[in-house]
């Protein structure tokens, strides 16, 4: 992971229970006990966009150089069908330098052309049998190793593989306060006129949004001022004082209505880029963005996760 891609623990907004579980089962034990940690495994379940990938990035960042971190997507083990050798080599090589975290994203994902990597079906069954056997075999070479699987559809896997994971973690719906904090943080470096009450209103009206949905909404709202500029055909001059008193003022241009005093008819492309004043972000920009942004997770998908949790809940 490059420096620009680092995601800290605080960047994962909300999901308090999930973060506490992962802190106690993965991060703290590996930091304090290292290779003396017994082999353990964690299954993270949740619909798309709930933050599973963000958690992987945050955990990798939190562990830093203390732990050998290895991650793959389940599709990496499919090449015209299941490749047992690819999986075997990955698990063995990842376990050589310990302590280690082995992370497999989209553990039970389906493929449009080939059998599901870890699911039912002839080739998928072979893979499933192999990883179940690997996880359940006592091996001194696995001490200090944590294997983590993330999935959006755990119900397609066999019960034996599900039960092989020592811990099950479930990503929940984003709480209103978390959505508020996400909007607040995203607007920190933006020029806007939204008040605290406006942020709470947006949070209240995005009840079913995932973290990914919120990011789409915020990006759309923040791009509205630029859209307004590209649609503007009139601009007026605005004077701004320079840093040193007594110097001449700089002239900038801001979009305006045709009837405004001092309005100049001109396309926005004729305005020098370094003299263009971008309109501030307003509540109307968020309202406009909400007309084209919807929750990506259906209620039925959440219910499937809840049903699975009730069956495989751990004491």
Per-residue pLDDT, 39: 81
Domain contains 232: yes
CATH code for the domain of 46: 3.40.50.300
Domain contains 298: no
| pLDDT tens figures, 41-97 | 999 999 999 999 999 999 999 998 889 999 998 888 776 556 778 888 899 899 888
Burial of 211 (0-12, 13-18, 19+ CB in 10 A): buried
Per-residue pLDDT, 87: 85
Domain contains 310: no
b/e 19-53 (16+ beta carbons within 10 angstroms → b):
bebbeebbbebbbeeeeebebbbbbbbbbebbbbb
Domain contains 211: yes
| pLDDT tens figures, 229-278 | 999 999 999 887 555 555 556 889 999 999 999 999 999 999 998 899 98
Domain contains 110: yes
CATH code for the domain of 274: 1.10.8.60
Domain-terminating residue out of 122, 137, 172: 172
Please tell me whether residue 36 adopts helix, strand or coil conformation.
helix
| Whether residue 24 is found in the same domain as residue 144 | yes
Please tell me whether residue 181 adopts helix, strand or coil conformation.
helix
Q: For residue 242, what are the domain limits? A: 176-290
Domain contains 295: no
Is the CB of residue 78 less than 8 Å from the CB of residue 109?
no
Whether the per-residue pLDDT at 136 is higher than 90: the answer is no
| Whether residue 49 is found in the same domain as residue 139 | yes
User: Angle at the Cα of 50 (from 44 to 56), degrees rounded to 5?
Assistant: 55
Domain-terminating residue out of 119, 154, 172: 172
| Whether residue 195 is found in the same domain as residue 268 | yes
Task: Determine the length of the chain.
Answer: 315
Residues near 98 by beta carbon (within 8 Å), at least 6 away in sequence: 34, 35, 68, 143, 144, 145
| Whether residue 45 is found in the same domain as residue 188 | no
Whether the per-residue pLDDT at 311 is higher than 50: the answer is yes
Compute the distance between CA of residue 150 and CA of residue 102 in angstroms, rounded to an integer. Answer: 11
Compute the distance between CA of residue 68 and CA of residue 89 in angstroms, rounded to an integer. Answer: 16
Number of domains in the chain: 2
Per-residue pLDDT, 116: 46
Average pLDDT in the chain: 85
| Whether residue 198 is found in the same domain as residue 157 | no
| Whether residue 93 is found in the same domain as residue 187 | no
Is the CB of residue 174 less than 8 Å from the CB of residue 204?
no
Per-residue pLDDT, 120: 43
| pLDDT tens figures, 158-190 | 788 888 899 999 999 999 999 999 999 999 999
| Whether residue 157 is found in the same domain as residue 239 | no
Phi-psi region of 198 (alpha: psi -120 to 50; beta: other; left: phi over 0): alpha
Compute the distance between CA of residue 121 and CA of residue 203 in angstroms, rounded to an integer. Answer: 43
| Whether residue 166 is found in the same domain as residue 200 | no
Domain-terminating residue out of 172, 204, 231: 172
Please tell me whether residue 136 adopts helix, strand or coil conformation.
helix
Cα–Cα nearest to 170, from 29, 55, 67:
55
| Whether residue 282 is found in the same domain as residue 246 | yes
**Of all residues in the chain, what percent carry a pLDDT higher than 70?**
86
| Whether residue 131 is found in the same domain as residue 275 | no
Greater model confidence, 273 or 3: 273
Q: Cis peptide before 99, with omega less than 30 degrees from 0?
A: yes
């Amino acid at each position: 992971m490059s420096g620009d891609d680092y995601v800290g623990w605080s960047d994962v907004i909300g999901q308090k229970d999930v973060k506490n579980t992962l802190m106690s089962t993965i991060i703290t034990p590996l930091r304090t006990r290292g290779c003396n940690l017994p082999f353990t495994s964690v299954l993270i379940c949740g619909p798309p966009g709930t933050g599973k990938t963000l958690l992987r990035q945050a955990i990798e960042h939190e562990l830093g150089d203390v732990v050998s971190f290895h991650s793959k997507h389940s599709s990496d083990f499919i090449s015209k069908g299941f490749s047992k050798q690819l999986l075997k080599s990955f698990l063995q090589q990842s376990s050589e330098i310990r302590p280690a975290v082995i992370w497999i994203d989209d553990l039970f994902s389906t493929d449009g052309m080939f059998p599901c990597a870890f699911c039912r079906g002839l080739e998928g069954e072979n893979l499933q049998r192999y990883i179940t056997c690997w996880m359940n075999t006592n091996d001194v070479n696995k001490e200090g190793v944590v294997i983590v699987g993330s999935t959006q559809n755990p119900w397609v896997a066999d019960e034996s593989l599900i039960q092989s994971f020592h811990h099950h973690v479930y990503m929940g719906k984003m709480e209103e306060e978390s959505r508020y904090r996400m909007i607040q943080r995203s607007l920190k470096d933006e020029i806007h006129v939204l008040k605290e009450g406006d942020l709470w209103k947006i949070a209240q009206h995005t009840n079913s949004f995932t973290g990914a949905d919120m990011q789409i909404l915020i990006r759309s709202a923040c791009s509205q001022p630029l859209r307004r500029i590209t649609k503007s055909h009139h601009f007026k001059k605005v004077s701004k004082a320079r840093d040193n008193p007594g110097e001449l003022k700089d002239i900038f241009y801001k979009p305006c209505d045709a009837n405004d005093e001092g309005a100049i008819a001109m396309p926005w492309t004729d305005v020098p880029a370094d003299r263009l004043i971008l309109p501030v972000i307003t509540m109307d920009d968020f309202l406009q963005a909400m007309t084209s942004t919807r929750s990506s997770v259906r209620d039925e998908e959440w219910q499937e996760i809840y049903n699975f949790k009730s069956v495989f809940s751990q004491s």
